[in-house]
Every structure is written in C-alpha cells, then in structure tokens.
A and B are shown apart, each in its own frame.
Chain A
Amino acid sequence: MSNQNNRGDTLYRELILEHWKNPQNYGVLEIADIDVSDVNPFCGDEIRVTARVKNNKIAQIAFTSTGCAVSKASASLFTEEIKGKTRKEIQTITSQNVLDLLTIELTPTRRKCALLIYAVVKRFLSSAEKVDELRSPK
C-alpha cells in the first residue's frame, strides 16, 4: 500500500469517464455476421459483440456490457480502433496495445476488466475467419 493519498483516482480521468458515460458503438446489430459473448468469471460481467464484415473488413461493430467503467471505456475505445480494419490487421494488435489505448495504469485485477473486450474479439476473429471464407470471391 502506498502512502500517497487518494492514489488511483487518476484512473477515472476524462477520457475514461467520457467513454464510460457515452460509449461508442454501444448496442446490438440486428443483422450480424458475428455474434459472440463472454463472461468475466471474477465478477460475472457479461460482454456481447456483434459485427458485420464487408470486403474482408469490420464494416459495423457494436457491443453491450454489464461491466465497470474500465471495461466499458476499453470496449468503446477498442471497437473504435478496429472498425474498418481487416482480420489480419486486428490480429497484430497486442493486449498491451489495448491497455495503451486507455492511457492509465491498471492493477492486474483491473487489467482483466480492460481486456475482456480483447478476449471476446480474439474469439470473434476465429469466427471471422469463417465469414472471410464465405465472403471472399471464389
């Protein structure tokens, strides 16, 4: 435990609060090529991602989440980041890249909150592979 008072409040800086209160890409796509969900076993928070793939790229993406501010802000920033990207481009993104988007220091427990969206998208990439095969011109 550090002695610095109210340490860690900087976690809730403007960027995080903004994306928590007004998350980008929040919702469920009615027509979706990809529909994946995951649960953070430590807290039971659920996240669902739906997406449309066009020309081998993420054309539309949406998420819903019952998670904390860190989890929601991370999902908002990350879905913005990967919109318009191809599967291969997304595959090069590391977990550290995701944490960097948040521009805050996280404890190991809170890192799990931030990376829940990343875990879901990783799973969605494997289903995107199938979508690619379906959609790529013969």
Chain B
Amino acid sequence: MSNDFPNRKDDFPIFKTFRELVYLDSASTSQKPHSVIAAVADFYKKKNANTHRGIYKLAEEATEAYENVRDLVAQFINANKREEIIFTGNVNQSINLVAHGWGRKFLKQGDIIVLSEMEHHANIVPWLRLKEEIGVELIFLPIIEDGRLDDKILMPERSRRQNSSTLRQPADRSEKKIDVNKIKLVALTHISNVLGTINPIEEVTAFLKKQNPGIKILIDAAQSVAHIPLDVKKLKCDFLVFSGHKMLGPTGVGVLWAKEFLLEKMDPLFVGSHMIKSVTKEKAIFTDLPEKFEVGTGNLEGVVGLGAAIKYLQSIGMEKIMAHDHELTQYALNKLQALPYLTMHGPQTADNRIGIFSFEIPKVHPHDIAQILDNRYIAIRSGHHCCQVLMQTLGVTATARASFYLYNTKEDIDRLVDGIESVKKILKI
C-alpha cells in the first residue's frame, strides 16, 4: 500500500478474530471498526435511556448523542438543514417512504418515473407498486456494453457515446422520444452495486432540470456514500438515500435526505407514537420535521454508531478513501484482465468506477466459484445481487462479485486471483 494510506486492518476487530480472512463483500455490508463497536457499547453502558421528552439527565444525554449524529450526517452530505435528515431502517425503507409519502400523494396515471437497468430491487419494487396502484409509467435507461449508463434516450443532442451499442434493444425501446414534461421523477443509483460504475449524476440532473425544472431527482447513494465525497448541492438532487452499514456503521440505520419543502408536503409512511403533536379521539396532528417521519423509539445505539462511522471516515478523508479505492481498482483490473478465461462485467477501465467486480468463468456457476474461494478464506458474493433486471440485461442468472473497501490491500487482490486460478484446478476444467 502507498505510504499515505496504511493498512487499516488493525482498526477492524474481525481481522484479528480471523487473521486469514480476505473480505471482499463490502458492497453487501462493510466490516466495523473498533470505534463504531465501542460507540454502540458505550451508548448502552453510559447513555442508555429513551430519547426526547425525558427530563432526567440520562435521557437528555441520550437525546443529545442521537441528535448530534443528525448534525454530523447533514454536514457529511452538505445538507442545508439538520431537519432534512430523516433516520430510517435502511435504503429500502427510505425509498418506500418517498414512494408512499411523495409518489403516492402527488403522482397520477401516465406520469413517468425514469429508472435504469442497473437499479437494485430497492429502487425498482417500490416504483413497480406505484405503477400497479396508480398507473405511473416506468422507463428503464439501458446500459451500454462497458456497463455504463446509456442516457442518450434522455439527452439526445448530448449523446457522448454514439458509437457504443446498447446491450439489448427490445422493440419498445427503439429511439422512442420521451415526453420530458411527463417525467416527474428520475431515480438512479449513483454507483452500481454489480458493475461498480459511477453514473454521471451531476450531468444528468443538470440537463434534466434545465429541460423541466419540475422533475424530481432521487439518488440511491447506497454504494457511493461509502466511497466518494457526497454533496447534495452539487448533485442537484431532491432526495438522497443511503444505509449506515455499508459505510462502517451498524446495520438497521438508513437515511433519507430530502429538501425541506418536499418533506413538509410528504406524508409519513408509518404513524403512531413520537411523531405527533397531539392526539384526541377524533384526530392526530403530526409534529414537525424531522420527527414527523420517525415513528416510535428509534435505533438509538445504531444512530450513535453511524456517528462514530462518519467520524472514522472523516478522520481519513473521503478524498483519500477514493484515491485508495482507485488504486486498488486499477490493480485489480490489471490482474483480473490478465486471466483470459474470465468474463468481466462492468467498465474495463478504472475511470468513473469503484472496486466492485462482477465476473464469470464460462460453464461454472458463481456459487461454485464462491464456495471454492471460501475454502481459501476469501469471502465474495454470488447470485443476482438484488439486481434481477440487470441480470436479464446481461443475459445471466447470477454473477460472482468481489467488492473492496478501505481495509482491503493489494495482497487481498493477489489472494483473490490465486483463488480464482484454483477454481479451474478443483473443478478439473
């Protein structure tokens, strides 16, 4: 590793427990540093009480610890106001909140929602339900051969990739001009959890907002929040969603950021305690932001753990994390491309891509690759990665996927390559 990015495995207790472990499944969930584990334990040891409305000191301290993280998250993504940060359970819950609270309330039959073929099920299924319920139309932006977004369908005169052919061209996609005035929402993943592609979100949003300022933009930042600096002002988006557990935090904490005026108009997904001003036998009056969307007792220690995760990331710096990822990505691409029998999905250069690699060995099922790698203490994922629409585009049922994070090293990639080489030997092919 380069000098300015030391091996960080010592910060992560799991690598002390399993010294041989090569963990290459961070796109699924990240490992947790000491500081996050300690923050969760410390909350229970020193601050445990229910938040808000407590008069005693302990409850005030618990509330302060929880609410401080809201400030930290707002600062981390450059949000205008702390009230724009809503704690949810995960990305799925955040998107469901937008689909229900905003989509169901304001969209009508014939309105268009633009997605892409590389979306995670979290950013497809809630919209499919809206399609069934109110008849919105879903349009999936195709991807081109190198695993990048083909946005010329939206940006015809700016087609930067005219020479690239789309992977699959069904009849209904034939250069159909979309009525930009009917587009109400564009919901895109910032980084594909299968291909590693970083989508040109800023270009897409700037162009669309110029065409039709009414279009709302939702960014699924599940992968990007952990790997690149995020700034909701630069991204010019309206909604941004992510989970804490992919960015070193505990599982069970997600975030929805949305512009204040949108949150004010939105309906809560769940109603009950904690999110009300007053309740009578006739009526409940909901409280103000952000509590309006946070029903019941929250995941207090999880939120506090997320705060510790953000502090850990900030202590290194997102720019440095991105540079380290880029270095690993370049190294891994060189090594993996040197294996002639490997089919690699996703961009074949390190530009605008992170260290997520989906690959196949012809005639070998990804489960068998993952099993043989596991026998060598190398943890990768195999399957559809909650992206069945993308699998259909790629023409496969599953892929093997190795994904890196800040604790991974070039040695881990060497072990991965050795492991892949052994697959052929074990299976005698």
Q: Which residues of A contact B (CB under 8 A)?
A: 1, 6-9, 11-12, 17, 42-46, 66-71, 110, 113
Interface locus among B52-60, B87-95, B380-388: B380-388
**Chain B interface, number of residues (Cβ within 8 angstroms):** 24
A12 touches B426 (CB 8 A): yes
Give the residues in chain B near A11, CB-CB below 8 Å: 371
* Interface residue B145 (Cβ < 8 Å from any Cβ of A): no
Residue pair B427, A44 in contact (C-beta under 8 Å): no
Q: How far apart are the CA atoms of A11 and B398 in the complex, in Å?
A: 21
- Closest B residue to A66 using CB positions: B397
Q: Give Cα A113 to B365, complex, Å.
A: 12
Q: Is the CB of B427 within 8 A of A43?
A: no
Contact A1–B18 (Cβ < 8 Å): yes
C-alpha spacing A95/B276, complex, angstroms: 52
Q: Is the CB of A68 within 8 A of B375?
A: no
**What distance in Å separates the Cβ of A73 from its nearest Cβ neighbour in chain B?**
11
Known: A69-B365, A113-B367. A44 touches B428 (CB 8 A): no
Within 376-408 of B, Cβ neighbours of A (below 8 Å) are at 376-377, 382-384, 388, 391, 397-398
B residues with CB within 8 A of A? 18, 20-21, 364-368, 371-372, 374-377, 382-384, 388, 391, 397-398, 426-428
Interchain CB contact (< 8 A) of B374 among A8, A42, A44, A67: A8
Bound form: Cα–Cα A44–B428 in Å: 25
Query: Shortest beta-carbon distance, A63 to chain B, in Å?
Result: 15
The answer to whether A43 and B375 touch across the interface, beta carbons within 8 angstroms, is no
Number of A-B contacts (CB under 8 A): 60
- Is there an interface contact between B384 and A9, defined as CB atoms closer than 8 Å? no
* CA gap between A111 and B365 in the complex, in Å: 16
Query: Do B428 and A43 have beta carbons less than 8 Å apart?
Result: no
Residues of A within 8 A of B21 (CB): 1
B382 CB to closest chain A CB (Å) equals 7
In the bound complex, CA of A47 to CA of B21 (Å) = 34
Q: How far is the CA of A67 from the CA of B382 in the complex (A)?
A: 12
Q: From known contacts A12-B427, A66-B397, A110-B371, infer whether A44 and B365 are also in contact, taking CB-CB under 8 Å.
A: no
Residue contact B375 to A6, C-beta cutoff 8 Å: yes
Chain A residue nearest to B382 in the complex (CB): A43
Contact B375 A7 (CB under 8 A): yes
Ordered by A's residue number, 28 sampled pairs between the chains whose C-beta atoms are within 8 Å are: A1-B377, A6-B375, A6-B376, A7-B375, A8-B374, A9-B372, A9-B375, A11-B371, A12-B372, A12-B427, A17-B427, A42-B383, A43-B367, A43-B382, A43-B397, A45-B398, A66-B365, A66-B397, A68-B365, A68-B371, A69-B364, A69-B365, A69-B367, A70-B368, A71-B365, A71-B367, A110-B367, A113-B367
Q: Which residues of chain B come closer than 8 Å to A9, judged between CB atoms? A: 372, 375, 426
B contact residues around A44 at 8 Å (CB): 383-384, 388, 391, 397-398
Q: Which single residue of chain A is at the shortest CB-CB distance from B392?
A: A44
With A1-B21, A45-B398, A71-B365 already in contact, 8 other A-B pairs whose C-beta atoms are closer than 8 Å: A6-B375, A8-B371, A43-B366, A43-B398, A44-B388, A67-B365, A67-B367, A110-B371
- In whole Å, how far is A101's beta carbon from the nearest beta carbon of chain B? 19
Chain B residues within an 8 Å CB radius of A68: 365-368, 371
- Give the residues in chain A near B366, CB-CB below 8 Å: 43, 68
A7 to B397 alpha-carbon distance, docked (Å)? 27
Residue of A with least CB distance to B363? A21
Expressed in whole angstroms, the Cα–Cα distance for A45 and B115 within the complex equals 25
